[in-house]
């Protein structure tokens, strides 16, 4: 059954900039970001709310953008991976993910980065278990999550102003 | 080159594409949007096995927005990854072979319009009796799923004999038989397969795809579309995870290209998650029987191994997968006499193929649990048993595989020491256990998928007068870091910064052929090709630098972006200046390199699967907590040691090992392709929620040991690390469960139900075991008899037993 496609226009804040965008009202935030705003950094793995791959922040809270209607985001603040690096400089989480190889294929990476950013905003000194729980809704098939934990810990330390370096066994294994 | 001289190789460097990946800038196939692009959808069969009586697509074609509809007759030429299994059609021609088999395709101006049009295609089917699994295939040779194959619904039958295994059993102090089952599982890449095709009026088609094997897709497109390969460009986008699941040419790729040709517009197709389950090509469900004779000290006197693989509806890599279930049993512990019988059945399920470890995790599970039982019967420590009988380095195995460096002993010592094995094994309280297993894997298949005498990998190098270097190679970045390996190796040879190197890969218009990202071949093969290209550039540049510096060419060194006198390093010039000198003298500075693996010593039919330039080795210890009340198994920690030869990039090696452990853990505990038990053969769980895979809450801690014993056949000594470390995890977990609660779960996944059931039967005084009870009778062909090297053979079969005659005899015998 063809769906109605008369476009509706909303205004919202995306990565700190106000934008106006018009789209068919049935579209999810995921589709609006990727198809109408060309922000393809946000990925999809199931479009059923099962894998966490499409995670973005709405008003600072991680949401599955495949389950949120674009219309529901009128007037809200949406943050995607494209908004993390500032002034040509990587966010400490991005930097730590790159440094440790926490992004292998990179497909789930934007979602993990944003989920981790939300965690660190609330909990600047997370335990390993805090990280596990905060990221439990995000699937990664490449890393076994370990480099992701280590990258979140490294970035958290640096964001607290500590001069943190990865442990040798993180990069080279146990001797 | 000694490691002291290495400046790039061995370091933990960022990947060259890391920044693009963490900023979301990487363009995966579905991230491409072209002007005027259409969206395509596939209509898939609701029947597991049926004849197509008629298709009426006229109503679909008439819908608004619909630009083209295709059915099987539009793409009648068959294809398949292996030359011996050209059994697929882009859209089913006359028959469907599994629920999900593509039947028709629509291109429309929106995905919604395409989906709506699928509902208007009327297909009339005549259902046929479906084959539900391999044992069912054996019992029901008719109706045949395919009109080819060795016997009825058996696709492939293999029988190889290396020495008199019965004599081996007579020489033994103990002979033990066990049966095992390894359930099928799927790759589950986070990225759904996607492809975008474009057609230009000058007769050229371009396909962007999430494929691990652009070269094979290129060949398949040429074959099915009847176009010259010179008019086809295949670009492998970075894959959002592959694990073997994007290694076949797929229906959707061919359909997208054809739809672009028909409509003259770009066409995108992105599979839904459900469709990714139907593409599958994952782990073959495998039933196994193994009989081994051993001396009191654990020395193996003979081994007989049988496997029966449930192949699903098409051939895919299945013939190779079947050989792989018998190939690598011999490369870890010395096996003087060995017999292998393997069979693959066609069944009406999504086709199985190569998943990480390709055909070897199943027999490795069987072998390592079997050895655990043997060790117990002999009263030996399982680590000690293995350490005593390792295959020696630089030796030939019974089935004529050449083992080079062999670091398994060091791997075992690392995990035994690190885990505190001796203090824990058989000593932990009830419910806590520890288990050990080992494995080996190939570093690249020794033979190409289609017979040819050309290199397996090629590299072109362009040195820019500004000092930048571009590496062109057909390899495919699937997250494993292959682009970074090319940069690291070229940087090492030319003494420049790897981040000054541009890497162009996976584009059949721009890059020389590399066969693809499979069989753990990429680092070794592209690495050698890159070394050759870079050494040629270095020689050329050195010649002109030597003249400029008035030095003999042997004294010219390359490091830190400079070209200099090795005896007076302050005398030199920048790398960019040196390139300019060379370019001024000789013109554009460009070189090539290529690599072909050494010939295999085995010369018998079937010797093509198993040979590799080098074998990696892994040892694993798993610790488990088993709740005897519920059967729930938790794995808190795994120790893994992997002999990688030499790490080219230490950080990516760590990532590959940890990722392998993770995937092995998923297969050990929860992952399974499950189908409804009735004759519908419908996939029970084609979703990411219901197909259980480990989340952060199930993933264990991992202690990793990287063992480096450089192999002369590897670039800078490197061997593989992306697949091998998966293999020992399932058997280590199974052995640990036995240590924890005294029950044997002889099949994976080791679910709470199975553990609970085994504990219950143990409690009733019965055998505390869950697993297959028997292996069916199979009409094996006459064996191909190949004397092992120590019996004076030359790697050839001793008699005409090439399988053909034997198969005919077996077929005759099996007739009612």
Contact yes or no for B732/B622 (Cβ under 8 A) = yes
Query: Which one, of B358, B356, B382, B360, lies nearest residue B369 by Cα?
Result: B382
Confidence at B814, pLDDT banded by 50, 70, 90: very low
Using a CB-CB cut-off of 8 Å, the residues of chain A touching B194 are none
Q: Do the domain assignments include residue B643?
A: yes
Helix axes A92-100, A109-122, angle to 10 degrees: 130
Is the CB of B190 less than 8 angstroms away from the CB of A84? no
- pLDDT by residue (tens digit) across A52-109? 999 999 999 999 999 999 999 999 999 999 999 999 999 999 999 999 999 999 999 9
Can you count the helices (H) and strands (E) in chain B?
20, 32
Please tell me whether residues A76 and A99 are part of one structural domain.
no
Q: Is B23 on the interface with A (CB under 8 A)?
A: yes
Find, among B487, B650, B648, B649, the residue nearest to B1 by Cα: B648
Please check whether residue A3 lies inside any domain of the structure.
no
Helix/strand/coil for B683: strand
Cα dihedral: B382, B384, B387, B389 (round 10)? -80
CA distance A102 to chain B (A): 8
Residues of chain B in contact with residue A143, where contact means CB-CB under 8 angstroms, are: 655, 658-659, 662
- Quick one: B459 and B554 in the same domain? yes
Contact of A130 with chain B, judged by CB distance below 8 Å, is answered with no
Using CB atoms, pick whichever of A50, A109, A170 lies closest to residue B22: A109
First to last CA, chain A: 62
A57 domain-assigned = yes
| pLDDT surpasses 90 at B805 | no
Asked, as a colleague might, if the bond just before B188 is cis with ω within 30 of 0, I would say no
- Among B330, B332, B321, which residue's Cα sits nearest to residue B786? B330
Q: Chain-centre distance of CA B245, in angstroms?
A: 8
Contact partners, residue B508, CB within 8 Å, separation at least 6: B214, B215, B218, B229, B232, B233, B234, B235, B474
- On the question of pLDDT at B2 being above 50, the answer is no
Whether residue B423 sits in one domain with residue B473: no
The reply to whether A77 and A113 lie within a common domain is no
Nearest chain A CA: its distance from B509 CA (Å): 24
% of chain B residues with pLDDT over 70:
97
Q: What is the pLDDT of residue B4?
A: 53
Q: Over the stretch B327-377, which tens digit does the pLDDT of each residue have?
A: 999 999 999 999 999 999 999 999 999 999 999 999 999 999 999 999 999
Domain extent at residue B300: 155-186+282-447+603-770
Residue with tokens 């997968």: B321
B540 and B566 part of one domain: yes
Residues A136 and A96 both lie in one domain: yes
Say yes or no: A96 and A134 in one domain. yes
CB–CB of A2 and B190 under 8 A?
A: no
Instruction: With respect to residue B495, please indicate whether it lies within any of the assigned structural domains.
Output: yes
Q: How many domains does chain A have?
A: 2
Q: Nearest 5 degrees, angle CA B649-CA B651-CA B657?
A: 105
Inter-residue contact A81 to A45 (CB < 8 Å):
no
Q: How confident is the model at residue A3 (pLDDT cuts 50, 70, 90)?
A: low
Q: Are residues B423 and B466 in the same domain?
A: no
Q: Minimal Cα distance from B116: which residue of A?
A: A1
Q: Which residues pair with B41 in a beta bridge?
A: B106
Chain B residues within 8 A of A133 when measuring between CB atoms: 696-697
DSSP, collapsed to helix, strand or coil, labels residue B372 as: helix
Length of chain A: 175
| Number of domains into which chain B is organized | 3
Report the pLDDT value the prediction gives residue A4, as an integer from 0 to 100. Answer: 59
- Which of B33, B110, B655 lies nearest to residue A104, judging by beta carbons? B655
Contact B388, B409 (CB under 8 A): no
Pair (B478, B575) in one structural domain = yes
Domain CATH number, residue A151? 1.10.150.120
Q: Which of A38, A55, A83 is the last residue of a domain?
A: A83
Q: Which of B595, B630, B654 marks a domain boundary?
A: B595
- The verdict on residue A161 lying in a domain is yes
A47 in contact with B at a CB cutoff of 8 Å? yes
Do the Cβ atoms of A44 and B12 come within 8 Å? no
Both B371 and B271 in one domain: the answer is no
CA distance A78 to A99: 27
Segment B398-407 shows an average pLDDT of 98
Q: Which of A106, A100, A94, A93 is nearest to A142 (CA)?
A: A106
Domain shared by B182 and B330, yes or no: yes
pLDDT at B803 over 90: no
Same domain as B539, residue B465:
yes
Note whether A44 and A107 are same-domain residues.
no
As given in the structure block, the two tokens for residue B125 are 């089917």
A4 touches chain B (CB under 8 A): no
Shared-domain flag, residues B417 and B344? yes
Q: How confident is the model at residue B800 (pLDDT cuts 50, 70, 90)?
A: low
Q: What is the CATH number of the domain that holds A26?
A: 3.10.20.30
- Say if residue A79 is in the same domain as residue A96: no
- What pLDDT shows up at residue B765? 95
Nearest-neighbour CA in chain A from B577: distance (Å): 30
DSSP A53: T
Both B611 and B625 in one domain: the answer is: yes
Residues B338 and B311 in one domain: yes
pLDDT(B675) > 80: yes
pTM of the predicted protein model? 0.97
B189 contact residues in A (CB cutoff 8 A): 105, 107, 141
User: Across the interface, do A48 and B15 touch by the CB < 8 Å criterion?
Assistant: no
- Does residue B525 carry a pLDDT above 60? yes
Say if residue A143 is in the same domain as residue A105.
Answer: yes
Say yes or no: A16 and A63 in one domain: yes
Over range B709-716, report the average pLDDT. 97
Domain that holds residue A126: 92-172
pLDDT tens by residue, A13-38: 999 999 999 999 999 999 999 999 99
* Angstrom distances, CA of residue B87 to CA of B79, B149, B360, B585, B609: 6, 10, 24, 55, 21
* HSE value, Cβ hemisphere, 13 Å, CA-based, for B477: 33
> Do A58 and A96 reside in the same domain of the chain?
no
Tokens of B518: 């499979």
Q: What number is the average pLDDT over the span B207-228?
A: 98
Pairing assessment for the beta strands B102-108 and B38-44 based on DSSP bridges = antiparallel
The answer as to whether A2 is a domain residue is no
Taking CA atoms, what residue in B is nearest to A169? B704
Helix%, strand%, coil% for chain A, nearest 5: 35, 15, 45
pLDDT, tens digit (0-9, with 9 covering 90-100), for B76-120: 999 999 999 999 999 999 999 999 999 999 999 999 999 999 999
Q: Are residues B268 and B211 in the same domain?
A: yes
Whether residue B7 is contained in a domain is answered as no
Please indicate, yes or no, if residue A101 is contained in any of the structural domains.
Answer: yes
Q: What is the pLDDT of residue B90?
A: 98
Question: Is residue A1 one of the residues assigned to a domain?
Answer: no
Order of strands, sheet of B572-574, starting from the edge strand that comes earlier in the sequence: B556-559, B562-565, B572-574
Q: What is the CATH number of the domain that holds B495?
A: 3.30.365.10
Q: What is the mean pLDDT of residues B405-433?
A: 98
Which of B25, B191, B273 has its CB closest to that of A107? B191
Q: Which of B563, B595, B627 is the last residue of a domain?
A: B595
Catalogue the long-range contacts made by B633-636 (C-beta closer than 8 Å, 24 or more residues apart).
Answer: B633/B669, B633/B733, B633/B737, B633/B750, B633/B752, B633/B755, B635/B665, B635/B668, B635/B669, B635/B700, B635/B733, B635/B736, B636/B700, B636/B701
Task: Clarify whether residues A163 and A116 are in a common domain.
Answer: yes
Is A90 part of the contact surface with chain B (CB cutoff 8 Å)? yes
| CB-CB contact of B369 with B735 (8 Å) | yes
| ipTM (interface pTM) | 0.98
| Best to test chain B binding among A27, A50, A141 (most B CBs inside 10 Å) | A141
Instruction: Indicate the pLDDT class of residue B676, thresholds 50, 70 and 90.
Output: confident
B663 contacts in chain A (CB < 8 Å): 141, 144
Same domain, A65 and A33: yes
**Which helix (H) or strand (E) covers residue B222, if one does?**
helix B214-225
Q: Which of residues 11-30 of A touch B (CB under 8 A)?
A: none
| pLDDT, mean over chain B | 96
CATH number for B199: 3.90.1170.50
CA distance B169 to B339: 12
**Residue A151 domain-assigned?**
yes
HEC profile of B570-635: CCEEEHHHHHHHHHHHHCCEEEEEEECCCCCCCCCCCCCCCCCCCEEEEEEEEEEEECCCCCCEEE
Answer with the one of A38, A57, A83 that is the final residue of a domain: A83
Distance CA B759, CA B379 (A): 23
Q: Is A112 on the interface with B (CB under 8 A)?
A: no
Per-residue pLDDT tens digits for B701-711: 999 999 999 99
Q: Report which of B752, B484, B769, B720 is spatially closest to residue B613, judged by C-alpha positions.
A: B720
Contact A144 B112 (CB under 8 A): no
Paired sense of beta strands B232-236 and B204-209, if any = parallel
Same domain, A69 and A39: yes
Question: Is the CB of residue B448 less than 8 Å from the CB of residue B442?
Answer: no
Domain assignment of residue A159, yes or no: yes
Of B595, B614, B629, the domain-final residue: B595
Position B5 scores a pLDDT of 85
Q: Which residues of B touch A101 (CB under 8 A)?
A: 14-15, 18, 481, 651-652, 654-655
Q: Is residue B816 part of a domain?
A: no
Tell me whether the omega of the peptide bond preceding residue B143 falls within 30 degrees of 0, making it cis. yes
A145 CA to chain B: closest CA distance, Å?
6
Start-to-end C-alpha separation, chain B: 65
Dihedrals φ, ψ of B653, to 5°?
A: -60, -45
B718, B648 Cβ separation under 8 angstroms: yes
**pLDDT score recorded for residue B440:** 98
Window 74-133 of B: residues touching A by CB (8 A cutoff) are 110, 112-113, 116
């Amino acid at each position: 059954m063809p769906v109605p496609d008369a476009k509706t226009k909303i205004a919202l804040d995306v990565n700190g900039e106000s934008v106006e965008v018009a789209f068919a009202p049935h579209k999810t935030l995921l589709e609006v970001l990727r198809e109408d705003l060309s922000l393809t950094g946000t990925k999809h793995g199931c479009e059923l709310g099962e894998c966490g791959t499409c995670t973005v922040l709405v008003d600072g809270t991680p949401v599955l953008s495949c389950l949120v209607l674009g219309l529901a985001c009128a007037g809200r603040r949406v943050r995607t991976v494209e908004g993390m690096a500032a002034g040509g400089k990587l966010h400490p989480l991005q930097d730590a993910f790159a440094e440790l190889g926490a992004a292998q294929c990179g497909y789930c990476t934007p979602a993990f980065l944003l989920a981790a950013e939300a965690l660190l905003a609330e909990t600047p000194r997370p335990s390993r278990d805090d990280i596990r729980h905060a990221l439990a809704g995000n699937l990664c098939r490449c890393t076994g999550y370990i480099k992701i934990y280590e990258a979140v810990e490294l970035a958290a330390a640096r964001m607290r102003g500590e001069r943190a370096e990865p442990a040798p066994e993180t990069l080279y294994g146990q001797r | 080159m000694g490691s002291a001289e290495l400046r790039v190789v061995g370091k933990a460097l960022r990947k060259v594409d890391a920044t693009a990946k963490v900023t979301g800038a990487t363009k995966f196939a579905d991230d491409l949007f072209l002007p005027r692009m259409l969206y395509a959808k596939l209509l898939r069969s609701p029947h597991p096995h049926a004849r197509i009586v008629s298709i009426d697509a006229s109503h679909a074609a008439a819908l608004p927005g619909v630009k083209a509809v295709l059915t099987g007759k539009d793409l009648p030429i068959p294809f398949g990854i292996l030359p011996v299994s050209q059994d697929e059609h882009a859209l089913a021609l006359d028959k469907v072979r599994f629920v999900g088999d593509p039947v028709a395709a629509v291109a429309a101006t929106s995905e919604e319009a395409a989906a709506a049009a699928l509902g208007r295609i009327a297909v009339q089917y005549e259902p046929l009796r479906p084959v539900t699994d391999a044992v069912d295939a054996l019992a029901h040779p008719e109706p045949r799923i395919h009109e080819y194959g060795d016997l009825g619904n058996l696709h492939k039958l293999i029988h190889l004999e290396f020495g008199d295994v019965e004599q081996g059993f007579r020489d033994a102090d103990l002979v033990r038989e066990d049966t095992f089952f390894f359930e099928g599982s799927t790759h589950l890449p986070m990225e759904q397969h996607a492809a975008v095709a474009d057609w230009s009026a000058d007769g050229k088609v371009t396909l962007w795809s999430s494929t691990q094997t652009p070269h094979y897709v290129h060949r398949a497109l040429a074959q099915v579309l009847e176009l010259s390969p010179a008019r086809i460009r295949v670009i492998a986008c970075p894959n959002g995870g592959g694990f073997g699941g994007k290694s076949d040419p797929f229906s959707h790729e061919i359909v997208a290209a054809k739809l672009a040709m028909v409509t003259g517009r770009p066409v995108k197709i992105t599979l839904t998650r459900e469709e990714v389950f139907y593409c599958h090509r994952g782990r073959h469900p495998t039933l196994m029987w193994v009989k081994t004779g051993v001396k009191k000290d654990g020395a193996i006197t003979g081994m007989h191994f049988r496997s029966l693989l449930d192949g699903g509806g098409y051939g895919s890599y299945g013939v190779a997968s079947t050989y792989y279930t018998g190939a690598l049993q011999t490369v870890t512990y010395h096996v003087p006499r060995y017999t292998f019988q393997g069979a693959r059945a066609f069944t009406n399920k999504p086709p199985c193929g190569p998943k990480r470890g390709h055909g070897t995790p199943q027999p490795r599970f069987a072998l390592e649990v079997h050895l655990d039982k043997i060790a117990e019967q002999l009263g030996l420590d399982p680590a000690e048993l293995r350490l005593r009988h390792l295959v020696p380095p630089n030796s030939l195995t019974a089935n004529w595989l050449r083992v080079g460096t062999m670091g398994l002993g060091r791997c075992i010592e690392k995990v035994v020491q690190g885990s505190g094995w001796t203090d824990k094994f058989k000593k932990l309280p009830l419910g806590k256990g520890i288990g050990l297993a080992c494995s080996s894997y190939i570093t690249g298949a020794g033979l190409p998928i289609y017979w040819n005498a050309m290199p397996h990998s090629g590299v072109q190098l362009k040195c820019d007068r500004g000092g930048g270097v571009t590496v062109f190679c057909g390899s495919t970045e699937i997250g494993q870091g292959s682009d970074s390996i090319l940069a690291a190796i070229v940087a090492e040879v030319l003494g420049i910064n790897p981040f000054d190197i541009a890497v162009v890969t996976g584009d059949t218009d721009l890059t020389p052929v590399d066969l693809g990202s499979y069989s753990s071949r990429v680092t070794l093969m592209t690495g050698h090709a890159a070394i050759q290209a870079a050494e040629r550039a270095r020689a050329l540049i050195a010649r002109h630098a030597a003249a400029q510096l008035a030095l003999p060419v042997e004294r010219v060194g390359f490091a830190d972006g400079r070209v200099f006198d090795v005896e007076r390093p302050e005398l030199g010039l920048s790398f960019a200046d040196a390139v300019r000198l060379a370019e001024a003298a000789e013109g554009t500075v460009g070189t090539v390199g290529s690599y072909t693996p050494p010939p295999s010593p085995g010369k018998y039919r079937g010797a093509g699967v198993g040979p590799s330039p080098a074998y990696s080795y892994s040892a694993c210890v798993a610790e488990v907590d088993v709740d005897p009340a519920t059967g729930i198994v938790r794995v808190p920690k795994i120790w893994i040691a992997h002999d990688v030869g030499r790490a080219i990039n230490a950080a990516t090696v760590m990532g590959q090992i940890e990722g392998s452990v993770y995937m092995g853990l998923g297969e050990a505990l929860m992952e399974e392709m499950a189908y409804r038990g009735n004759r519908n053969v419908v996939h029970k769980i084609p979703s990411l929620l219901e197909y259980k895979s480990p989340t952060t809450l199930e993933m264990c801690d991992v202690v990793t040991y990287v063992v480096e014993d450089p192999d002369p056949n590897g670039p800078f000594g490197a061997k593989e690390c992306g697949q091998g470390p998966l293999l020992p995890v399932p058997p280590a977990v199974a052995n640990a469960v036995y240590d924890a609660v005294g029950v044997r779960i002889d099949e994976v996944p080791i679910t709470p139900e199975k553990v609970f059931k085994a504990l219950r039967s143990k409690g009733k005084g019965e055998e505390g075991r869950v697993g297959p009870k028997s292996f069916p009778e199979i009409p094996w062909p006459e064996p191909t008899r190949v004397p092992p090297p120590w019996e004076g053979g030359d790697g050839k079969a001793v008699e005409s037993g090439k399988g053909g005659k034997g198969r005919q005899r077996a077929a005759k015998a099996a007739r009612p």
